[in-house]
Structure formats: C-alpha cells, structure tokens
C-alpha cells in the first residue's frame, strides 16, 4: 500500500484544523449556536427524507407499490423517527446522566443552567418542529388526517371534514406549544431540564411509526404487530404518563427556583406539560382500548384454530 505524501498529510491536517476552528468560533459560538442548530435541524430533515426514500426503494419490497402520498408519509415518518431517537437519547443523557442540572457545586440555579450542547440539541429539535409542521400543513389532510378520521369513523361527509379540521388544529396547537417552549428554553437558557424531561416522551414515537409501517406492509396480523402494541403501551405509560407526573413533582420540590424565572417561562413550565399531559392521557386511553381489541381478536383466532384441529 503506497504511503501518503507528507505534503498531502499536512494539507489534510490544515483543513481539519480550519474546519474545527470554523465550528468552534462560528457555528457553535454562543451568538450563532441557536440559529445554526435550527438551520441544521431543517437541513437534516431534508437529508433524512431523501435517504429514507433511497433506502426504502432498494430494501423494502412493498415501497415501490405504495401511492405517491403514502411514500411521502413513509419518508416523513422516517424524519420523525430519526428526530425522536436523537432527541430522546440526548434528553435521557441530560436528565439522568449529565451533572449539568444535578451538580450541587454549581453556583447557578438549576432552572438557569445550560450548555452549548443542550442549547444546540434544542435548536435541532426546533428545526424539526418547523419542518414537520410545514410538511403537515402542506400535505394536509394526507399526513395523518385520514388516520384521525378512521379513529372516529363516520359516513357523514360533514363530520369527516370536521374531524380533519380538528386534527389539523390539534397538530398546529401541539407543534406551536412544543415549539414555543423549546424556542424559549433555547434562547433564554431557562428551564432546559424540564424541556428535556418533556422531550423524553419522544422515545415512544419510533414505536408508533413502526406500527404504521407494519400496517402499511400488510403485517397487521403478525406477532411483531402485537409485540409492538405491548411496547407502545409500556413506553407510553412510562414516558408520557409517569414521567410527566415525576416532572411536576420535581417542579414542586424546586418551586423556590421555578418562581424566580421570567413570568412567561413560569407559565410555559406549568402550562405546556399540563396541556401535553392531558393529550397523553386521552391517547393512552385509546391505546389501552386498541391493545385490548387486538388481544381479543388474537384469542378469537387462536380458539378458531384450536377448534379446527
């Protein structure tokens, strides 16, 4: 194997040092980090969308047979899944492993602590919220709206239209609430711990999308579909019900610090998780009913097979 010329090696090191200086002094510098991360999140969504389309075309047999809008939904869920994995991993790190918010030796109050990494992570997530909201409104009612109608199925055209409108309003409110809370926490540095606590709930998103993928691929009666339902139930219970309760308990224990936040930040810390918590409980009830229905159908099919034998 031929040795790399010394001049080439030095040139590579020079470019590497210049790139590191660019990232350190500009892209991740305090004044630019929020805007850089938002832009990076938006660009990452586009890259993931194209990669999902490319990979699915080669490795997913049912993908070529999907309609155009189903492919858009498929690829959009790839973006959502990637963001969920990224932000939930980062959230778990900051909430349970990092000493940024738990170190008692730091003089700054817990609600005012932040770092370049924590701010950058929130910016990437905010970029995703912008992209997902834009995609949902642009492709409305194809992205998710039809599913909403199926949940509240009715043959009345007026009710169909109403449910689709309610779905759009719900998505917009959810994204605006989440986006506002994330943006405020990112730009002010306040309550980043509580923001990441709420973002841990994204850990359930990949399972939700996997359920749609299995359904679209014609695997609704498979064992994987059943296991997925059980995992969603457990994950939702832990990440979107119990964890929200723990967050409010944490706010109660540190209320003396929370009260020192800006009034708008104080309202966000209490208001946004409360609104999302109510939505989580409503959907948790539907998850329980759906899982019970799936289990009942499976028992019924098992009895039929036993009877035939």
Q: Kindly report the number of other CB atoms within 10 A of residue 268's CB atom.
A: 23
- What does the radius of gyration of the chain's CA atoms come to, in whole angstroms? 23
From CA 235, how far away is CA 298, in angstroms rounded? 22
The C-alpha angle with vertex 189 and arms to 119 and 183, in degrees rounded to 5, equals: 65
Length of the chain as a residue count: 309
* pLDDT of 148: 46
* pTM for the structure as a whole: 0.81
pLDDT, tens digit (0-9, with 9 covering 90-100), for 139-176? 776 665 555 445 444 556 666 667 667 777 777 888 88
pLDDT, tens digit (0-9, with 9 covering 90-100), for 39-92? 999 999 999 999 999 999 999 888 999 888 889 989 999 999 999 999 999 999
Give the Å distances, CA to CA, from 231 to 158, 276, 291.
36, 21, 10
The residue written with tokens 């075309």 in the block is 57
Give the Å distances, CA to CA, from 233 to 236, 237, 240.
5, 6, 10
Spell out the per-residue pLDDT of the chain, length 309, in tens.
455 566 666 666 666 666 556 555 555 556 677 888 999 999 999 999 999 999 999 998 889 998 888 899 899 999 999 999 999 999 999 999 999 998 888 889 999 999 989 999 999 999 999 999 888 888 776 665 555 445 444 556 666 667 667 777 777 888 888 899 999 999 999 999 999 999 999 999 999 999 988 888 888 888 898 899 999 999 999 999 999 999 999 999 999 999 999 999 999 999 999 999 998 998 899 889 888 888 887 777 766 666 666
């Amino acid at each position: 194997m031929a040795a790399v010329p010394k001049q080439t090696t030095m040139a590579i090191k020079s470019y590497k040092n210049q790139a590191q200086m660019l990232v350190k002094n500009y892209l991740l510098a305090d004044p630019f980090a929020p805007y850089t991360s938002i832009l990076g999140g938006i660009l990452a969504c586009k890259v993931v969308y194209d990669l999902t389309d490319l990979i699915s075309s080669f490795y997913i047999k049912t993908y070529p047979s999907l309609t155009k809008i189903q492919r858009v939904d498929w690829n959009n869920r790839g973006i959502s899944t990637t963001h969920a994995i990224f932000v939930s991993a980062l959230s778990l790190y900051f909430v349970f492993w990092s000493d940024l918010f738990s170190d008692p030796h730091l003089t700054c109050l817990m609600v005012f602590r932040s770092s370049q990494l924590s701010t950058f992570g929130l910016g990437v997530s905010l970029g995703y919220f912008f992209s997902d909201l834009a995609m949902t409104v642009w492709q409305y009612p194809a992205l998710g709206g039809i599913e909403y109608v199926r949940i509240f199925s009715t043959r009345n055209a007026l009710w169909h239209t109403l449910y689709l409108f309610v779905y759009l309003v719900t998505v917009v409110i959810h994204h605006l609430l989440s986006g506002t809370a994330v943006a405020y926490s990112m730009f002010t540095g306040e309550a980043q711990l509580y923001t990441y606590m709420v973002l841990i709930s994204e850990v359930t998103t990949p399972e939700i999308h996997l359920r749609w993928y299995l359904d679209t691929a014609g695997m609704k009666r498979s064992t994987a579909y059943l296991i997925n339902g059980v995992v969603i139930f457990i994950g939702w219970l832990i990440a979107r019900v119990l964890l929200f309760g723990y967050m409010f308990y944490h706010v109660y224990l540190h209320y003396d610090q929370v009260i020192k936040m800006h009034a708008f930040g104080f309202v966000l810390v209490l208001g946004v998780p409360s609104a999302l918590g109510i939505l989580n409980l409503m959907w948790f009830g539907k998850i329980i009913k759906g899982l019970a229905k799936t289990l009942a159908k499976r028992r019924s099919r098992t009895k039929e097979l036993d009877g035939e034998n």
